[in-house]
Amino acid sequence: MALPSTTLAGLGAALARGALSSVELTREVLARAGAAQPALNAFVTLDADGALAAARAADESRAAGRAGPLTGVPIAHKDVLMTAGLRTTCSSRMLANFTAPYDAHVVDALKRAGTVLVGKTNMDEFAMGSSNETSYFGPVRNPWNPAYVPGGSSGGSAAAVAARIVPAATGTDTGGSIRQPASLSGICGLKPTYGLCSRYGLIAFASSLDTPGMFAQTAEDCALMLNAMAGHDPRDATSLPRPREDYTRELGQPLAGLRIGLPREYFGDGTDLDVAAAVDAAIAEYRKLGATTVDIALPAVKLSVPVYYVIAPAEASSNLSRFDGVRYGHRAAGYADLLDMYKKSRAEGFGAEVKRRILVGTYVLSHGYYDAYYLKAQKVRRLIADDFQRAFAQCDVIAGPTAPSAAFEFGAKSDDPVQMYLNDIFTIAGNLTGVPGISIPCGFTRGGLPIGLQLQANYFREAQLLGVAHGLQQATDWHARVPAAYGVQR
């Protein structure tokens, strides 16, 4: 079936004018997901019965005049978000057979907006990874070249959107897990301000960093998703009570007078030449559109990676202690006593990367090391946040590469965790500070792999950020390029 559009906004408009029904659209999406699964492994669970029931309900709502912009549009959720009655695994052995008893807040919000859930996407185990190679259910492959990773941890969501299976999908971003796979997969990925989207029902990795967000083909589609997802939730103590706003309101605004900050720390050694050239070209395009550039400094950003890999594992060590084989999750088949059951269940249920981070986190929280590592990391975290606030006094948005390289081949960094961790060097500061950030396509390497531009704004400036991203997408077509195996390049 030829679809009238592959974007969220385009499909919503097609449904509104009666060009197709939600049931027809959902059947096509399920067929595409099934056909692509052997090559991409983007999904852990597909829910055809549930999706078609939701599609029929959406069609009935539309016929009764109760439709909104997202009514009847199929989406997917990252498998770290609880979905009532549907398996929620975190791509782990520990939760391989766990069925969620309730919906996460953002899942419920999108359900109330009328979206149709077609399935749960593959990810790095417990959201720990930058390549989607740590999943218990096998790696996700990049639609642009299946020999390459799609990025992580939200690699399944990124691949599903990049391959035009679904127009949008949720993700979570703890150290770049939306923006980095968006960059490596050639789509848009938005990490909102921390606290804007509730974490209720998100199976926690690092509670002070985890941020629900979304993937889509365009900044406009991200704005439509955020309109549904954002909002105060009293069940999450970190959810911020703010008036609702329309995140599409600055789409199409002229960029004349926009000040773009260029941190010297984002443009130094260590960035691939193809990436640097594409980002420079995107910034030159912004200048043509009327923006000005300002040289800024973020001196403490160079400490982001070591700070993150103290704080995030510490919080993970605490959060993952609940998986003990007693209440839910994997339990070892044979054990001598309660302590032996804990040990064997956790040893069998967790993969190598998760174990590594639990061990690091337990160490930095232990007696004699808490002050030396964890407390010091929190103090440096404040210095990084202060740097961003000084920068935003000089500019409206900050621009730079999303990742230092394009996608890399499977296994290229598996034996060197530090090299893998450095792939998030430009995104981690956004989580440590809580500021919003978006990755948008801005070019390709000579080998045909996509490159992402990261834009960051001050707290709660998502509408401005999306407007700036939209401006570049109106002047370029990088976001409209489709992997050869999944559509026609244009």
- Output the six-digit token pair for 205: 């990795």
* Cβ atoms of residues 26 and 118 within 8 Å: yes
Q: What is the dihedral of CA 281, 284, 288, 289, to 10 degrees?
A: 80
What gap in Å lies between CA 480 and CA 450, rounded to an integer? 12
* Cβ atoms of residues 289 and 475 within 8 Å: yes
What gap in Å lies between CA 334 and CA 340, rounded to an integer? 9
Residue tagged 């006094």 (tokens): 393
Active site residue 153: yes
Peptide bond into 345 cis (omega under 30): no
Cα dist from 434 to 174, 207, 242, 388, 411, whole Å: 10, 12, 16, 10, 31
* Cβ atoms of residues 107 and 203 within 8 Å: no
Active site residue 208: no
What gap in Å lies between CA 105 and CA 197, rounded to an integer? 8
Q: For residue 215, give the nearest of 395, 470, 483, 438 by alpha carbon.
A: 438
Instruction: List the 292-296 sheet strands across, edge first.
Output: 43-46, 116-121, 74-78, 168-173, 211-216, 188-191, 437-444, 450-457, 397-401, 259-263, 292-296
Q: Which of 130, 135, 153, 185 is catalytic?
A: 153
Q: Which of 78, 120, 191, 413 is catalytic?
A: 78
Q: What is the dihedral of CA 154, 447, 262, 480, to 10 degrees?
A: -60
Specify the amino acid at residue 438: I
Question: How many CA atoms lie less than 13 Å away from 220 in the CB half-sphere?
Answer: 19
- Output the six-digit token pair for 401: 């590469």
Active site residue 177: yes
Question: How many CA atoms lie less than 13 Å away from 121 in the CB half-sphere?
Answer: 34
Q: Under DSSP, is residue 401 helix (H, G, I), strand (E, B) or coil?
A: strand
Q: Which of 22, 130, 177, 439 is catalytic?
A: 177
Specify the amino acid at residue 94: M
Q: How far apart are the first and last CA of the chain?
A: 20
Q: What is the dihedral of CA 266, 275, 139, 480, to 10 degrees?
A: 120
Residues tagged active-site: 78, 153, 177
